[in-house]
Structure formats: C-alpha cells, structure tokens
Amino acid sequence: MSQLIISSVTREFLRVKVRVMEDGEPVDISGFPTSWAFMLVTDTNSTPEPTEIDWFAGTITAELDYWYSSVLIGAGTAFDLVDGTYSVWVRIVSGSEAPARNVGRLIVT
C-alpha cells in the first residue's frame, strides 16, 4: 500500500497482499481472521502502533497463490473517514500468533 491519498467522501475497499509460507509452500489462510487499524499520525516521523481496541474486522480473499486482506472504509463503515494522515496496520490471527504489520500511510483529504 505504501501511501494512498483519498477523499473524505469516498467509500471503498482497501486491500493488501498477504502471503504466508510454510516449508517453502504457500499456506491457505482463507479461514483466518484479519483486522485493520488506522492510527492518526501527529508527528510525521512517527508510526503510531495500535492497541487491542483499535482493530477493525477485515476479510481474506484468494487469488492464485496469494491472499488479500481487505476492509471497507468510509461513510457508514467501522472506519469513517476524517481528514488526516493515518498509519495503516494489518493483522492476521492464527492460533496463538497474531502478526501485525504496518502497511503504509493513508492520507484523507
């Protein structure tokens, strides 16, 4: 995702590619829970980290050997768009593990 600039009046899906490998082979994660966090950036040199209450449910979809985590954002969704710059995080839960990765910045104008 790196950096994405969108309008505060939009309602759309954000999507990032997720690939999990085990013994050199891709793992089917289609049934794994995924979530997203959008953390307001107040200092351009910081990457705020989410706490447990910051996560919004997403979905996993498959395309060939890749899986995508996606979330619907905008008016009438769990993440209503307010002007600002956000650090965007994606998390996938598998058993006792829940790796979270910063996937970029979202700039809402």
2-108, CATH topology level: Immunoglobulin-like (2.60.40)
pLDDT at 1 over 80: no
Residue 43's pLDDT is what? 87
Across the chain, mean pLDDT equals: 90
- Indicate the pTM of the whole model: 0.89
Task: Please state the three-class secondary structure of 62-101 as a single string.
Answer: EECCEEEEEEEEECCCCCCCCCEEEEEEEEECECCECCEE
**Strands of 84-92's sheet in order across:** 2-6, 100-108, 84-92, 34-40, 55-57
pLDDT digits (tens, 9 = 90+) for 59-99: 999 887 789 999 999 988 988 889 999 999 999 988 788 88
Judged on CB neighbours under 10 Å (0-12, 13-18, 19+), 36 is buried
Asked whether the CA dihedral 9, 70, 49, 96 is positive or negative, the reply is positive
